[in-house]
């Protein structure tokens, strides 16, 4: 088995230090942070968001340290603009000013083509369009091998999504979900399970049809849960909410890598991927968004409902050969037991609110965890 590299992209919402509401200060923050970070800090769709991007690494420790450094540098730059980055799938509080779309040619084109998703009738940006995810890039793959690996990983991604749920609150409301981001993000075209495509020609023809039909602007708007990345030669996994707890982010990355490493042997052996019905996968992702670790999910092998926590145990066992290869097994079990005992991101947010009775305290706890990792 080969040791795969990992890279992480994290999206944060910028909130004002006084009001804790989202604010359009990404240009100022990126200008300051960019002096140290260069292209490792980037714009996102809204000017109330920023993104950090790690370099590829094979080391869990190096990934943790780089994420901590990037978060700290962005946090320092944000404080100079009287705001702070918050790692959360959806903003806890609504903005007190109209959100603005980032002023770039691509984002202007997206805002025009997908106005119903981004703006309301008066042209003001939709508050519910602001969501923050965490994307993990695995390996160095050509498009065909990345696509083949994505087909094998499809049934497992709802389990990872349940582990990553960190958006129970949105615009001052408890949504009842563990990941409300998953609901909001699904309004975009192509967000969902990877289609069953057997090779690169099928992939290219499928994407070409989506562009020709006007469903998407270009191949960069393929937002499948697992996709061949179009800007780096990797497999990109896109099912996780942004999480404030850094160890949770690293756990997600090494579980994805361990699982991919294990399944890659089946790709190399030309073992056909499981043909899981799309309707079954959609239901599994809906359960993950609604219940997270607190309820049941669907078994990747047979579709039976099982406790979500038991499914994480099964996933770790499946990923064990890959985790053993990189020496990550004991740490992964330790982190999973911590989350199983204390609850994931959504549970922690609700616990803060139940202790204090104020959503501002939830924002503060998220902000502290984001930048003090």
First-to-last C-alpha distance (Å) of the chain: 32
Nearest residue to 253 via CA among 53, 41, 63, 3: 63
User: pLDDT tens per residue, the chain (373 residues)?
Assistant: 889 999 999 999 999 999 999 999 999 999 999 999 999 999 999 999 999 999 999 999 999 999 999 999 999 999 999 999 999 999 999 999 999 999 999 988 988 888 888 766 555 566 678 999 999 999 999 999 999 999 999 999 999 999 999 999 999 999 999 999 999 999 999 999 999 998 899 999 999 999 999 999 999 999 999 999 988 999 999 999 999 999 999 999 999 999 999 999 999 999 999 989 889 999 999 999 999 999 999 999 999 999 999 999 999 999 999 999 999 999 999 999 999 999 999 999 999 999 999 999 999 999 999 998 6
The CA distance from 93 to 347, in Å, is 17
Q: Using an 8 Å Cβ cutoff, are 234 and 136 in contact?
A: no
H-helix segments, the chain: 26-37, 60-80, 105-113, 115-118, 143-153, 157-164, 180-185, 200-212, 246-268, 278-291, 308-326, 329-342, 345-356, 359-371
Q: Using an 8 Å Cβ cutoff, are 227 and 238 in contact?
A: yes
DSSP state letter for 243: -
The CA distance from 45 to 106, in Å, is 9
What is the number of structural domains in the chain?
1
Q: 20 is in which domain, residue-wise?
A: 6-356
77 belongs to a structural domain: yes
Q: Are strands 235-241 and 226-228 parallel, antiparallel or unpaired?
A: antiparallel
> How many Cα neighbours within 13 Å face the side chain of 71?
29
365 belongs to a structural domain: no
370 belongs to a structural domain: no
Token pair 């509401």: residue: 21
198 belongs to a structural domain: yes
Residues 6+ apart with CB under 8 A from 107: 43, 45, 101
Q: Using an 8 Å Cβ cutoff, are 47 and 41 in contact?
A: no
CATH of the domain at 140: 3.30.590.20
368 belongs to a structural domain: no
The CA distance from 315 to 299, in Å, is 10
pLDDT score at 122: 56
H or E stretch at 86: strand 83-86
97 belongs to a structural domain: yes
The backbone region for 193, taken as left when phi is positive above 0, alpha when psi lies in -120 to 50, beta otherwise, is: beta
Residues 6+ apart with CB under 8 A from 303: 276, 280
The CA distance from 162 to 317, in Å, is 17
Nearest residue to 54 via CA among 333, 249, 263, 312: 249
Q: How many residues does the chain have?
A: 373
367 belongs to a structural domain: no
16 belongs to a structural domain: yes
DSSP 88-120: -SS-SS--SS---B--SHHHHHHHHHTHHHHB-
């Amino acid at each position: 088995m080969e040791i795969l590299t990992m890279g992480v992209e994290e999206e944060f919402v910028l909130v004002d230090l006084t009001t804790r509401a989202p604010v359009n200060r990404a240009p100022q923050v990126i200008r300051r942070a960019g002096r140290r970070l260069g292209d490792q800090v980037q714009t996102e769709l809204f000017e109330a968001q920023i993104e950090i991007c790690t370099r590829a690494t094979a080391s869990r420790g190096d990934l943790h340290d780089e994420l901590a450094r990037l978060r700290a540098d962005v946090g320092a730059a944000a404080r100079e603009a009287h705001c702070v980055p918050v790692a959360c799938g959806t903003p806890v509080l609504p903005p007190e000013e109209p959100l603005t779309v980032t002023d770039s040619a691509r984002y202007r084109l997206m805002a025009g083509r997908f106005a119903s998703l981004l703006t309301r009738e008066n042209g003001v940006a939709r508050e519910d369009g602001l969501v923050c995810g965490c994307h993990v890039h695995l390996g160095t793959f050509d498009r065909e091998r990345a696509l083949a690996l994505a087909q094998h990983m499809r049934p497992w991604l709802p389990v990872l999504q349940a582990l990553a749920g960190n958006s129970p609150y949105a615009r001052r409301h408890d949504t009842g979900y563990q990941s409300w981001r998953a609901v909001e993000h699904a309004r975009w075209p192509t967000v969902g399970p990877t289609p069953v495509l057997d090779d690169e020609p099928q992939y290219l023809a499928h994407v070409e049809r989506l562009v020709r039909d006007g469903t998407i602007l270009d191949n960069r708007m393929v937002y499948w849960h697992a996709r061949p990345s179009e800007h780096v030669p990797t497999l990109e996994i896109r099912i996780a909410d942004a999480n404030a707890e850094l160890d949770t982010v690293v756990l997600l990355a090494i579980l994805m890598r361990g699982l991919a490493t294990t399944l890659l042997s089946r790709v190399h052996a030309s073992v056909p991927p499981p043909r899981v019905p799309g309707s079954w996968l959609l239901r599994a992702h809906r359960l993950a968004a609604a219940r997270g670790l607190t309820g049941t999910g669907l078994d990747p092998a047979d579709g039976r409902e099982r406790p979500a926590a038991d499914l994480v145990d099964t996933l770790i066992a499946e990923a064990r050969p890959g985790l053993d290869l990189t020496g990550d097994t004991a740490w992964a079990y330790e982190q999973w037991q911590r989350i199983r005992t204390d609850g994931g991101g959504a549970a922690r947010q609700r616990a803060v609110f139940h202790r204090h009775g104020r959503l501002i305290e939830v924002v503060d706890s998220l902000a502290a965890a984001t930048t003090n990792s």
